[in-house]
Amino acid sequence: MCHPGAGTGGSRGKRQRRLVTPGVPPPYCAAYLEQDIPRRLAMPKTYNEIYIRVRNALREHGVEASAIEARIIVACAAGKTTAQLVRDLRLYVGDEIAETAEAMLARRLTGEPVAYITGQWEFYGIPMEITRDVLIPRVDTEVLVDTAVASLRGRKMDARILDLCSGSGCIGCAIAEVMPKSRVVLADISPEAMALSRRNVERNGLQGRVSFLPADVMQPPPIMTGSFDLVVSNPP
């Protein structure tokens, strides 16, 4: 039990007793610390504290890229890029952002891919919107972009290129970004994928270089399709 002023004497003890509010334990005893737990848990947190919390939770659940995914989750919850998040790590976070990050973390811990949770993914250095209508671009698919560009560099920089089964449009958009004189056609049978790829083209300012062709790979192409210098494809 805490005894305010116990063991003190004279006027100093009296001053100490006057600082204690009746019925409220003083800040140096265990009873106060126990009462203070909810307040301390509710204290404002920095972006770095939220990031560490998410990263550690992912790591404990066996997520290999826990640090990368934690940055993506917290940045998305805050409406920032990952670069902006790193810049702002010492800033304090509002309750809404912290709660959003926790909700996204809970979904990730059930096994849902982070790209579907955040609705975005980076491919070949460019941001892409991602939905469940398409597959998530893989890092090793960037090799296909490298190969396509290498086959045309110095030979046909204004090439006409067909991205067959284009999905989100990530491959075609990446080629168009690297080869600004090229003309890329994105072809897919899925209306949802076509709509998504249109948004990604607009998002990256590639409207003048990329066009769209609703097409079934199992059927002959439309007569007006024309010819291409290169065809790339990474079908599901």
Tell me the domains of the chain and their CATH numbers: 10-41 (no CATH), 45-118 (1.10.8.10), 135-233 (3.40.50.150)
Kindly report, residue by residue over 32-57, the tens digit of the pLDDT: 444 544 444 456 799 999 999 999 99
Over range 157-175, report the average pLDDT. Answer: 96
Over range 49-71, report the average pLDDT. Answer: 95
* Share of residues in the chain with pLDDT > 70 (%): 81
| Tokens standing for residue 197 | 């790829």
DSSP per residue, 162-223: EEET-TTSHHHHHHHHH-TT-EEEEEES-HHHHHHHHHHHHHTT-TTTEEEEE--TTSPPPG
Kindly report, residue by residue over 74-86, the tens digit of the pLDDT: 999 999 989 999 9
| Tokens standing for residue 32 | 């106060």
Q: Taking the model in full, what pTM does it have? A: 0.74
| Tokens standing for residue 102 | 């926790």
In this structure, are residues 169 and 200 in contact, taking their beta carbons and an 8 Å threshold? yes
CA distances from 175 to 40, 76, 122 (A): 51, 26, 14
Distance CA 174, CA 161 (A): 12
Give residue 175's identity as a one-letter amino acid code: I
Mean model confidence pLDDT for the chain: 86
